[in-house]
Amino acid sequence: MKKWKQKAIVQKTISYLPLSSKINYIFQKFVTKGVNLVDNYFYDRLGHAREHIKAFQNYSDKSIPHACLEIGTGWYPIVPVSFFLIGSDKIFSVDISFLTSKERLQITLQKFVECNNLGQLKNYINFLPDRFHTITKLLNDYDKFSLDEILQRLNITYLIEDARKLSLPDNSIDLVNSNNTFEHIYPDNLIPILKDFIRVVKKKGGVMSHFIDMSDHFAHFDKSINIYNFLQFSDIQWKWIDNSIQPQSRIRVYDYKQIYEDLKIPISEESFREGNLNELKSIRLAKKFKKHQLNEIAISHCHFISRMSSVNY
């Protein structure tokens, strides 16, 4: 049996268990090795932070977002820490469960120090020296502080709540961002989430910046399949394969663009990774995908930037 099928079965089983998120973390840490903070992941997310900041500076009247909101931060808050380092004062992370820990936050901060020692951090973000000093000081006395105290010093607040009904006030967030999170949210949840993003983002100078990875995430683990493998299944078949721990909606770039259009969210700037047509052609596509152009289906990653003040809501 292929590795991706084994993983799918295990995660499907775990999804029905109590404390499924914690069990999945243990499974990924010790079996699939998918949750360790490796350099590739760290620098990828640091690159995302750089692009979010650039997007904000290009489409806002401010140089630094005072208040930021990220959905789906995950185990290592790399982007929120980046925002702290550039000067943001209120950094919110919303998720359905609390995935970080004091140990994982320490690993994240140590990576930033290591990155700076290598002379690389300045190539990604224009960090403030006093903010960086705060991180080094925290690490020197790390055991003295609780996780809540550390997060408070980093201006980071976790919102463990329904992202469709955020506890944040209207018109309160300068920058809303996500990093390969939308692909894990089915449209019936993504649409109301985006509606609440519209509510909380500032209508003057507010920006949204979202990276979306539309590849089959099982292919990241099992190199015997390509990134389009999951497009061969019908919705009914995929329902049996998919799981609630790391769901994959399989929606393509044209679906996201339609959602944006329906919600009147402007796409002020967009970029795509075209994907591989030869790999896509090797898959026998499910009926629902056959009515679209192959070059549209093949797009594997996209980045949407929205200048929210360009539309009256």
pTM across the whole model = 0.94
| Window from 86-90, 176-180, 221-225, 256-260 with minimum mean pLDDT | 221-225
Q: What percent of the chain has pLDDT over 70?
A: 93
The whole-number pLDDT of residue 132 equals: 98
Asked whether the predicted pLDDT for residue 107 surpasses 90, the reply is yes
Cα–Cα distance between 124 and 197 in angstroms, integer? 26
What is the distance, to the nearest Å, from the Cα of residue 119 to the centroid of all Cα atoms in its chain?
A: 26
Q: List residues bridging with 175 in a β-sheet.
A: 68, 207
Decide: 178 and 197 in contact? Cβ < 8 Å: no
Read off the pLDDT of each residue in 206-229 and give the average, rounded to a whole number. Answer: 96
Q: Residue 309: its pLDDT value, please?
A: 82
pLDDT at 68 over 70: yes
- Locate the domains of the chain by residue range: 37-214+251-310
CATH for the stretch 37-214+251-310: 3.40.50.150
pLDDT confidence of residue 36: 83
Non-local CB neighbours of 235 within 8 Å, separated by 6+ positions:
286, 288
Whole-number average pLDDT of the chain: 93
Inform me whether the pLDDT recorded for 281 exceeds 90. yes
SS3 label, residue 178: strand
pLDDT for 8 equals 82
Pairing of strands 301-307, 269-273: antiparallel
d(CA 163, CA 183): 15
Residues 106, 112 contacting (CB under 8 angstroms)? no
Check pLDDT > 70 for residue 186.
yes
